[in-house]
């Protein structure tokens, strides 16, 4: 109940103006330079499952205040392949099998390294991760603190993890950039929330809830995976937008790794299922958008937004997220 009240209060207080739910194709195609980006990843949800019952915050606030992409698709099954696809434009068979970094790692370029080379500050925030750059499973959904590296793409890349991929943690560089959102207690995002409140966040923030809050597992007390992620968004989106770093040129992306099923003919670009992407912020024109996009489109958009001209893998031939931009 508290989170529903918070969502209603937030909807009343935030400065964005909700536009009518009509197909919007009047914005700009070219991606503008963005300041702060917050990319929040949920799990295993089809667009058709985003309903008032299961996702009240997304339906009542996120959808009318965002560019809501209705023809967005995951790349593959299972989880890891989609996280790798959206950060490097490709994936391996072992990523489809959700193998750990010790047996499924790559020395390939990736968005995190591109940002480093470009001089763009970044962090990957992982809820319930017990140590920075942790490479092993930890916690459980029974205790509400299940961390799984299969949802942590940065640790699969040699230039981020350090190239060793043995033991429990990676390099010092990885430890400085792949960090926890808080402690290992229930719904603990205290470190992230403090950083938001103080404006102490980098330009790019890749946000990975634990396996309860990302909608992967059915966890008590909510007992509704989709609602669990919706609750996370209802808590953290207001924290982001009320934080000291939020301002002109900032965008929140909400995306799901994959849907519940494949798409037409199980073609590669559709095999991850039909899900949704929402983009929130003043560079965005709110509305419903029906043009095709997938995780490669998201990667291409992020590269363009940070002035990166070399596009990785599938992002090189992908379109961006479409005409969602105000300028």
| In the chain, domain spans | 35-305
Residue 15 has pLDDT above 70, yes or no: no
User: How does the average pLDDT of the chain come out, rounded?
Assistant: 91
Secondary structure class of 113 (helix, strand, coil): helix
**Taking residues 25-39, what's their average pLDDT?**
88
Residue 1 has pLDDT above 50, yes or no: no
d(CA 286, CA 279): 8
* Structure confidence at residue 29 (pLDDT): 80
Q: How confident is the model at residue 77 (pLDDT cuts 50, 70, 90)?
A: confident
- To the nearest whole percent, how much of the chain has pLDDT over 90? 86
d(CA 60, CA 51): 10
Q: Rg (Cα) of the chain, in Å, rounded? A: 18
Q: How confident is the model at residue 270 (pLDDT cuts 50, 70, 90)?
A: low
d(CA 258, CA 271): 9
pTM of the model: 0.93
Residue 17 has pLDDT above 90, yes or no: no
By C-alpha distance, which of 116, 119, 89 is closest to 174?
116
Q: At what angle do helices 2-13 and 225-241 cross, to 10 degrees?
A: 40
d(CA 75, CA 90): 9
Residue 18 has pLDDT above 50, yes or no: no
Residue 250 has pLDDT above 70, yes or no: yes
Residue 267 has pLDDT above 70, yes or no: no
The domain defined by 35-305 folds into Alkaline Phosphatase, subunit A (3.40.720)
Q: Which residues contact 46 (CB under 8 A, 6 or more apart)?
A: 259, 260, 261, 273, 274, 275
* Structure confidence at residue 265 (pLDDT): 39
Q: What is the pLDDT of residues 141-194, one digit of tens each?
A: 999 999 999 999 999 999 999 999 999 999 999 999 999 999 999 999 999 999
Secondary structure class of 281 (helix, strand, coil): coil
Q: How confident is the model at residue 9 (pLDDT cuts 50, 70, 90)?
A: very low
Identify the residue whose tokens are 């909510």. Answer: 222
Cα 285 to Cα 68, 233, 307, distances in angstroms: 10, 20, 21
């Amino acid at each position: 109940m508290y989170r529903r009240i918070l969502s209603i209060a937030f909807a009343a207080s935030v400065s964005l103006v909700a536009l009518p739910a009509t197909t919007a194709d009047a914005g700009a195609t070219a991606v503008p330079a963005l300041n702060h980006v917050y990319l929040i990843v949920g799990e295993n949800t089809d667009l058709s499952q985003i309903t008032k019952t299961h996702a009240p915050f997304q339906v009542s606030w996120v959808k009318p205040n965002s560019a809501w992409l209705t023809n967005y698709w995951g790349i593959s099954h299972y989880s890891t392949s989609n996280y790798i696809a959206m950060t490097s434009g490709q994936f391996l068979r072992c990523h489809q099998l959700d193998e750990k970094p010790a047996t499924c790692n790559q020395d390939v370029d990736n968005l995190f390294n591109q940002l480093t080379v470009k001089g763009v500050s970044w962090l990957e925030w992982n809820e319930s991760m017990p140590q920075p750059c942790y490479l092993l499973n930890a916690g459980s959904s029974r205790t509400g603190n299940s961390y799984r590296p299969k949802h942590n793409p940065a640790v699969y890349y040699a230039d981020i993890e350090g190239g060793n991929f043995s033991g429990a943690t990676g390099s010092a560089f990885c430890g400085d950039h792949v960090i926890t959102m808080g402690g290992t207690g229930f719904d603990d995002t205290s470190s992230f929330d403090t950083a938001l409140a103080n404006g102490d966040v980098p330009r790019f923030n890749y946000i990975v809830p634990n396996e309860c809050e990302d909608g992967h597992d059915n966890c008590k007390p909510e007992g509704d995976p989709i609602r669990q992620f919706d609750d996370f968004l209802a808590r953290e989106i207001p924290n982001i937008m009320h934080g000291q770093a939020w301002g002109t040129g900032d965008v929140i992306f909400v995306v799901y790794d994959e849907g519940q099923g494949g798409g037409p003919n199980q073609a590669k670009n559709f095999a991850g299922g039909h899900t949704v992407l929402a983009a929130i912020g003043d560079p965005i024109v709110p509305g419903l958008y029906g043009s095709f996009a997938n995780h490669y489109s998201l990667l291409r958009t992020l590269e363009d937004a940070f002035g990166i001209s070399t596009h990785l893998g599938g992002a090189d031939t992908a379109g961006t997220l479409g005409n969602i931009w105000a300028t």
